[in-house]
Amino acid sequence: MKVSTLTVKCMVFAICVSPFMVMLWNAYSNSLGPNPVETMTHFSGLWTLRFLLITLTLTPIKMIYPKSGIIKYRRMLGLFTFFYATLHFLIFLAFEHGFSVRYILEDILTSPIVDVGLLAYILLIPLALTSTNEMMRKLGKAWKKMHISVYVIGMLSILHFALSEKADITNPLFYASILLILLTIRGVVRNRTQKGPKKNNDA
């Protein structure tokens, strides 16, 4: 029996929202460990990066298997990336700094970790705002060029992660290798496409 697109989208939505529900449950049950703020910060940041890489995975899959239909879920995954990034940012503002403008500015001026993360988040905002069909039509080719910046956001996110880990950067290197593989696949497939018959590929 063929599963409808709506059913699959509901399943994807449920899977995407589950990390947030887990974090809420852990907070409710006092299971965030001795440093709850640090745990929430790490958890939200890690899931932001994971969703970003999952979103980036869909384009190479679509380029290799054009009839897969998987690209239709990219917008939802991209918006969940923005959701977890916003959650990560709000935890930084509210729980780490108590919305104190003084302490926030002090961190921005003195911490490379904060600067890199903030830059990645700022670059993510226009991508989220232009993710609708209407904006895609209005921007045309400019939309694709704008959304290419998601790879820069990926690099900045991994750098932000690496700086926050300080001594052990094993995990950031793991995610960096995934991003490198995705970029390589994209480049190889696009190069072959350009040499062969012309086809329209999404950014």
- Which pLDDT does position 189 carry in this prediction? 82
pLDDT at 2: 66
Residue 118's SS3 state is helix
Q: What is the per-residue burial (b if ≥16 Cβ within 10 Å, else e) of 159-172? A: bbbbbbeeeeeeeb
Residue whose C-alpha is closest to residue 50's, from 156, 157, 151, 131 = 157
CA gap 109, 34 in Å, rounded: 28
* DSSP alpha helix (H) spans, the chain: 5-28, 36-64, 74-91, 101-110, 112-129, 133-139, 141-147, 150-165, 170-195
Q: What is the pLDDT of residue 197?
A: 54
pLDDT of residue 11: 95
pLDDT of residue 66: 81
Tokens 């959650």 map to which residue? Answer: 87
pLDDT computed for residue 1 by the predictor: 56
CA 195 to chain CA centroid, Å, is 31
**Beta carbons of 158 and 172 less than 8 angstroms apart:** yes
Q: Which residue has the tokens 């790879």?
A: 151
pLDDT, tens digit only, all 203 positions of the chain: 567 888 999 999 999 999 999 999 999 999 999 999 999 999 999 999 999 999 999 988 888 888 778 888 999 999 999 999 999 999 999 999 999 999 999 999 999 999 999 999 999 999 999 998 899 889 888 888 888 899 999 999 999 999 999 788 999 999 999 999 999 998 888 777 777 655 444 44
pTM for this prediction: 0.91
